[in-house]
Amino acid sequence: MRVDRFLSNLPRFNRQQVRLLLVERRVRIDGQIVNDPRAHVREFSRVEVDDEVLQAGRPARYFMLHKPPGCVSATRDPQHRTVLDLLDEPDKDDLHIAGRLDFNTTGLMLITNDGSWSRRLTQPQTKLPKIYYVETEQTITAEYAVTFAQGLYFAFEDLTTQPAELTLLGPTSARLSIVEGRYHQVKRMFGHFNNKVLRLHRERMGPLVLDAHLEPGGYRALGAEEICLI
């Protein structure tokens, strides 16, 4: 939100007062004096006028986790262990999952408290690829790649999937790149050929690749460079 709008939304300031505050350089965002009304106030910004804090701000947090099988992609569940149960972090209730995985699907999960960041990561409009390693019950033929590239019609949602890229790795293994995250999408795509998915593992989301040193259930904080990639 623009800083002039942020301040004008407070009952104590009208528009004229906001203009004066900015011109007189009495407004700080994250410790920096601002006089441009177009300067952005974000969810995690600290906003001050003179020595008074109007928004305290809070630290943005970003984690990469290697999801093990038998774990629910949820913040809480009455029956099963959740991915948040794997985190030894304070204030876990503030965190949410950016891109869920099925109960027995493994691999890269990203967890954050930054809603704008997670939306950029998961929205189909951004077309960030999600890369999966897939093992199936029956042979995967070249026909799969052609069909996936054209898109598959899902009657339940009444939509056709975005083009996906399939690379064959072996008779029953492949790497699949999709830009969506429909309900059980990968399993349903292979189900079009009546081929059951036996193993599904997410290796990558956009430019972020699962850390090879992370054991299943392990996690780490993302670095500043990784965060800025999204």
Catalytic residue of the set 50, 88, 93, 102: 102
102 catalytic? Reply is yes
Distances from the Cα of 22 to the Cα of 3, 11, 25, 39, 99, angstroms = 9, 17, 5, 10, 40
Fill in the amino acid letter for 124: P
Biggest distance spanned by C-alpha atoms of the chain: 71
Residues sharing a CB contact under 8 Å with residue 32, sequence separation 6 or more, in sequence order: none
Among the residues of the chain, which ranges form H helices?
3-8, 15-23, 115-122, 142-150, 185-191, 224-228
Do the beta carbons of residue 66 and residue 216 sit within 8 Å?
yes
Q: In the chain, what is the straight-line distance between the N-terminal and C-terminal CA atoms, in Å?
A: 19
Closest by CA to 98, choosing from 88, 84, 112, is 112
Half-sphere exposure of 34 (CA within 13 A, CB side): 23
Catalytic residues: 102
